[in-house]
Amino acid sequence: MSIEKNAFSYITKKGAEIASVFEDLAELRIRVFRDFPYLYEGSVAYEKEYLKVYSQSERAFLFAVYANNKMVGATTCIPLSDETSEVRLPFETAGFDIDTFFYFGESILIPEYRGLGLGHRFFDEREAHARSFGTFKTTCFCAVEREEKHPLKPENYRPNDVFWQKRGYQKEPSLQCTFEWQDINESVSTAKTMIYWTKDL
């Protein structure tokens, strides 16, 4: 399928405005994160509760891509100090000044819209937003760490590590947190190790 970039429309939302697209964002997150490596068995009700942290932060930001009036990609970011305790904890434990960090949430695209430069656009938009305040020194995000021989890992799976490295991000194995969710092959939620990546602004 050939997709023209001019077929897209873009939106930005900040703070409380983000709540207006919770439904679209929740559905997109569930669809994209169902694939490896997240294997997430999500629900819209849980997603809406999880996303509240963004609408409650005045400096939170969302950039989303629509095609045919449907959200096909989105990305979010928020000051680390406004994130939940589980996200902040590794930085607080390590003695970092969390007021100087901007946390990047999801960066998600439906598969058929990948390879068109939108992934770079997502990072550009978030980094520009973080810089706009003039007080943040570092951006960060975390990604799930799965075992190399996970039974649900596709043969052609390629992690995003190379892309993130090209964007200037470094993996920080000493910075880890734990999130819980239900995998598609599980009946209950289990703990997943998340490892952080950072970049100086």
Nearest to 60 by CA among 94, 92, 87, 31: 87
Rounded mean pLDDT of the chain? 94
Backbone angles phi, psi at 105, to 5 degrees: -85, -135
Backbone angles phi, psi at 184, to 5 degrees: -65, -20
**Rounded to an integer, what distance in angstroms lies between the CA atom of residue 77 and that of residue 105?**
5
Contact 140, 174 (CB under 8 A): no
Domains of the chain with CATH codes: 5-200 (3.40.630.30)
| Cα dihedral 104→89→172→111 (10° resolution) | -30
Instruction: Read off the pLDDT of residues 138-184 as tens digits, 9 standing for 90 and up.
Output: 999 999 999 999 999 999 999 999 999 999 999 999 999 999 999 99
The arrangement of strands across the sheet holding 101-109 comes to 8-14, 61-67, 70-79, 101-109, 138-144, 190-200, 170-181
Query: Exposed, middle or buried by CB within 10 Å (0-12, 13-18, 19+), for 176?
Result: middle
The residue written with tokens 């999880």 in the block is 50
- Please give the C-alpha separations between residue 38 and each of 146, 159, 179, in angstroms, as whole numbers: 9, 12, 11
pLDDT of the chain along its 201 residues, tens only? 455 556 899 999 999 999 999 999 999 999 999 999 999 998 888 898 889 999 999 999 999 999 999 999 999 999 999 999 999 999 999 999 999 999 999 999 999 999 999 999 999 999 999 999 999 999 999 999 999 999 999 999 999 999 999 999 999 999 999 999 999 989 999 999 999 999 999
**Rounded to an integer, what distance in angstroms lies between the CA atom of residue 199 and that of residue 140?**
6
